Amino acid sequence: MLKNKKNYAPESFKLSGDGNKEINKEIGFKDLNLSKPIMQAVADAGYENPTPVQAKAIPAVLAGSDLLAGAQTGTGKTAAFTLPILHLLAEKHAAASRSGKPRCLVLTPTRELAAQVEESVKTYGKYLPLKSTAVFGGMSIVPQIKALRRNVDILVATPGRLLDHVGQKTVDLSGVEIFVLDEADRMLDMGFIVDIKKIIALLPKQRQNLLFSATFSEKIKTLSASVLHNPVFVEGAKRNAASELVDQSVHLVSQRLKSHLLSHLIKHHKWKQVLIFTRTKNGANRLADKLTADGISASAIHGNKSQPARTKALAQFKDGSVTALVATDVASRGIDIDRLPHVINFELPNMAEDYVHRIGRTGRAGSSGKAISLVDKEELRYLKEIERFIKREIPKVLFDSFVPPANMPVAEPHNSLPQRQGGRKHYGERTSAGSRNYSPRYGHAKKQNRSKDINTKSKVR
């Protein structure tokens, strides 16, 4: 049980769409008492001021407290725990016995997040004599074993692969001084609770614990109560969730025309970096193939792809050699690209919260981004839930006479939609009752007036 209830997350703690507080202007990094090498790395990264979660979490961690942080990707949470951990470990470095055992363990739900957290550790710790490594599945275990032999101070890991190492006795967790559970809610969603418990049982009783979670379900509360002792609670307002920084819109378009519209948007606007979300792995593959066929360099990233293929796709997307990265929600966790300009929801997620996670990939670090959702009639109920969740209406654009270019064949709809009576109706066409008709268009391209111009859209609120 928690000893100090008043520090506990409030019952109502939830992602709120309007929590944009931007970067904390009151407290500067210099007020946080971080050591010089860390301050230098922070300056090199171009950060001027700590984000709210950093301003609150860093002093608490430096003071040695356990921490319960309500923060999601985009809040600056990684630096919020990495910076003070580096400070603490470096301070005691000389005195610490060079046992070769990891002194800090960070658990993450996904391989991508593990890789990115470790990258942050390296970035912020570049002027310190501390060593780090990441271990996660989908990669050969041999190089990881070698890396672990080289006396790692900070180990970032996914639970499954870490337990493989424990099983092979290639890691010893008895020297862990600081334990971090990153994106704890995702870990529970992904069924890692048993693994987490096994890992905790291997840690020394005396240690500092930090738990980060975007949401607080009953399960998270139970986990926090069993892991944390007298924690300080901090809440990180997301710098961009559903905020002014992200220019959100919905394009109402039938499912079968979505890929044509998407290709058109990317080409017409000459977008260079577009992250696209689909609901299924097959859908991601199909869409990447379709975009490639339309002359747009595209890759898909999802759980069925090998880790090297995922890493390569991400690297190519980051360096600009791939324009469109098509991802499923799980695979996209932890994808962290500064100033990602465009996020497309090819299909809306059925969890409103995932929408916030998805659009949180754009508009980061003070730059503005665009999030466009392609929404079919069948998805309008999800849209309603999302709007209720983020407490705002998303502007809608109707593609009432969007017609694919002549050289784009229109596929037959694969979800056979009922034929309307009384002839064809187009998206947004007014019915006799005067209301908008959002039913999909059933005509085939060859029967329609072709136009390359999609500026015939009209806005509704």
Q: Which residues bind ligand AMP (CB under 6 A)?
A: 23, 47, 50-51, 54, 73-79, 336, 338, 364-365
Q: How far is CA 411 from CA 56, 98, 268, 281, 407, in A?
A: 53, 64, 21, 20, 13
Nearer to ligand AMP, 265 or 365 (CB): 365
Helix (H) or strand (E) segment spanning residue 302: none
Shortest spacing between CB 64 and ligand AMP, in angstroms: 22
Shortest spacing between CB 303 and ligand AMP, in angstroms: 21
Nearer to ligand AMP, 341 or 405 (CB): 341
Q: CA 405, CA 90: separation in Å to the nearest integer?
A: 60
- Of 199, 169, 168, give the one whose Cα is nearest residue 181: 199
Q: CA 276, CA 317: separation in Å to the nearest integer?
A: 12
Shortest spacing between CB 56 and ligand AMP, in angstroms: 13
Nearer to ligand AMP, 45 or 406 (CB): 45
Nearer to ligand AMP, 239 or 426 (CB): 239
Q: How far is CA 246 from CA 220, 427, 457, in A?
A: 29, 26, 21
Shortest spacing between CB 53 and ligand AMP, in angstroms: 8
Shortest spacing between CB 102 and ligand AMP, in angstroms: 21
Checking phi first, is residue 336 left (phi over 0); if not, alpha (psi -120 to 50) or beta?
Answer: beta
Nearer to ligand AMP, 285 or 368 (CB): 368
Shortest spacing between CB 78 and ligand AMP, in angstroms: 3
Shortest spacing between CB 426 and ligand AMP, in angstroms: 41
Q: Which residue has the tokens 């990258």?
A: 119
Q: How far is CA 30 from CA 239, 259, 385, in A?
A: 21, 49, 42
Interstrand relation of 436-437 and 429-430 (parallel, antiparallel or unpaired): antiparallel
Residues 6 or more apart in contact with residue 396 via CB below 8 angstroms: 249, 250, 251, 252, 459, 460, 461
Nearer to ligand AMP, 80 or 288 (CB): 80
